Chains A and B, each alone.
Chain A
Amino acid sequence: MTDANGQGAVVVTGAGSGIGREITRLLLEQGIPVSAWDLNPGDLTGHNSANLMVRTLDTRDKAALQKAADETVERFGSIAGAATCAGIFRPKPFLEVTQQDWDDHFGINLRGVLFTCQAILPHMRAKKKGSIVLFSSTLARTAKPTTAHYAASKGGVLGLMRVMSLETAKEGIRVNAVSPGIADTPMPNAVMSRDVVLSRAEGNPMGRIGTANDMAQAAIFLLSDDASYVTGQDIRVNGGQDPF
């Protein structure tokens, strides 16, 4: 990752809300340029500034990703890092999962991640340096009813992460994942009642649910040069709820 005076931006997908939004905020606070991509950038819209470029796009749209990556390089010189936070979560009992549900989850949570990485990797390769953080989920390794399609897509992210890390390890590029447990972000709050979201603190060793900041800090660490010997890893930020 670049320092405040250096070149290179960090691409954040899903930057309009939740964890992506918090990563964007923390990077800007450090003076690091951000290229913020989201289908709905929310209140980031209109906040283009010296260090922030906002693009409204769907990560299933390969051409739009390519264009945004090229424009990011044009604007900031290079792409030093990426955090792929764009994702959807629409829990349903397994037998009720439609083809559309499956395609939406895999299209955004997995295929969109592949396309995002394909759009930015050539720019990192050119500089022989870069750090990519993919957001998976604690559900990639554990299980809760009604999450089959989501869990499968997030498990796929871990496979993608490992192989990408292998293929780029000797080129100065690191690829890691962050797997959040439940966090107080718009994603779970959109599909569960407030009481249910907060009740997940019970049984967590740390007695609370996570925050967007908890997850963002892990990504910020992995993006930084402090993680220079960390690649191919899945950092599970869950209070110790799921120890593997």
Chain B
Amino acid sequence: MNTLITGAGSGIGRATALRLAKRSHICVADKNGANAAAVVKEIEAAGGKATAFEVNVLDGDAVRATVAKAEALGPIDALFNNAGISVRTTIADLTGDEWDLMLDTHARGMFFVAQAVLRNMVPRKKGAIVQTSSDFAVMGVPGMAAYCAAKCAVYSMTKALAQEFGDDKIRVNAIGPGPIDTPILRGGRTEEQYRASVAANEARTPMGRLGKPEEVAAVVDFLLSEKSAYINGQLFHPNGGAVMW
């Protein structure tokens, strides 16, 4: 089995790579090549097999070249389309460039990756894809307009792909994690701001705590496995109950 994971150098992508490595070769793709290489080392130390790829999903040509190389290592059966970023800027201060970067990374980047992988999956009539959306796809969050819009685009694309490729025996689902303790949560925040953010997220989450990347990885593992053979086009929330709908 061969699994491609983008954004696999840290956070949820990394945790999923480590978990799936127990049953699959992992193509560890990340825009930060050093992080990708470090995850490959971790997998190998645990007895698994993995290959690192440095790729920025903003670059369509680079994505297609990476998928071709990954495919050459073995047919890609599973894709975790996960690379993502976060900016926190109120709409009044949000620049066009920030908006574009957010939408391009999530919607356009995941489109490039999904398209390149699906071109190989479709003739084989086999495959599973999970794309990282967010709780924020279905809830409005102040200061996060671009992120909310980008993650909702991911969810909408997921539903469309699920309808389009069901006949080809390829399932496409999304995950909508709640507050997870990852580098994204820490990014751009002072220690004090980070602690305030953790407290706010604990307060808004019925379980009263942040999730761990490993807890999201377990859901991704399920959605990429045969155990979810009839789950398609869904947004699955490992979120401690933060959003229910």
A residues within 8 Å of B by Cβ?
A: 162, 165-166, 169-170, 181, 204-207, 210-211, 214-215, 217-218, 220-221, 226-240, 243
Contacts and interface: CB of A to CB of B under 8 A. Distances in A.
B233 interface: yes
B207 interface: yes
B230 A237 contact: yes
Contact of B166 (A204, A229, A232, A235): A204
Given A210-B230, A226-B218, A229-B211, A240 B206 contact: no
Say what secondary structure dominates the interface of chain B. Answer: loop
Contacts of A231: 206-207, 240-241
B117 interface: no
Contacts of A215: 230
B206 A229 contact: no
Contacts of A166: 206, 241
A236 B241 contact: no
B167 A207 contact: yes
Contacts of B241: 165-166, 169, 231-233
Interface stretch (B39-47, B52-60, B220-228): B220-228
Given A220-B227, A235-B234, A235-B236, 13 more contacts: A170-B208, A205-B166, A211-B230, A214-B229, A217-B227, A226-B219, A229-B178, A229-B239, A230-B238, A231-B240, A232-B206, A234-B244, A240-B159
Name which of B222, B229, B231 has the most chain A CB atoms within 10 A of its CB.
B231
Contacts of B169: 206
6 contacts: A205-B167, A206-B232, A229-B216, A230-B219, A230-B237, A231-B240
Interface in B168-205: 169, 171, 178
B163 interface: yes
A236 B219 contact: no
B166 A207 contact: yes
Contact of A169 (B228, B230, B240): B240
Nearest to A225: B218
A86 B233 CA distance: 27
A134 to B, nearest CB: 13
Given A230-B237, A239-B232, A221 B166 contact: no
Given A204-B166, A205-B167, A229 B227 contact: no
B242 to A, nearest CB: 8
A81 B81 CA distance: 33
Contacts of B206: 165-166, 169-170, 231-232
A32 to B, nearest CB: 16
A218 B221 CA distance: 13
A239 B237 contact: no
A243 B234 contact: yes
A240 B211 contact: no
A218 B231 CA distance: 9
B106 to A, nearest CB: 19
A233 B166 contact: no
B211 A162 contact: no
A243 B162 contact: yes
B215 interface: yes
B212 interface: yes
Nearest to B238: A229
Question: What 4 A-B pairs are tightest by C-beta distance, nearest first?
Answer: A205-B166, A240-B232, A240-B233, A214-B230
Given A221-B222, A240-B162, A240-B166, A205 B244 contact: no
A221 B166 CA distance: 22
B236 A233 contact: yes
A188 to B, nearest CB: 15
A138 to B, nearest CB: 11
A236 B159 CA distance: 13
Contacts of A228: 215, 218
Contacts of B207: 169-170, 229, 231
B121 to A, nearest CB: 15
Contacts of B218: 226-228
Given A218-B231, A229-B211, A239 B166 contact: yes
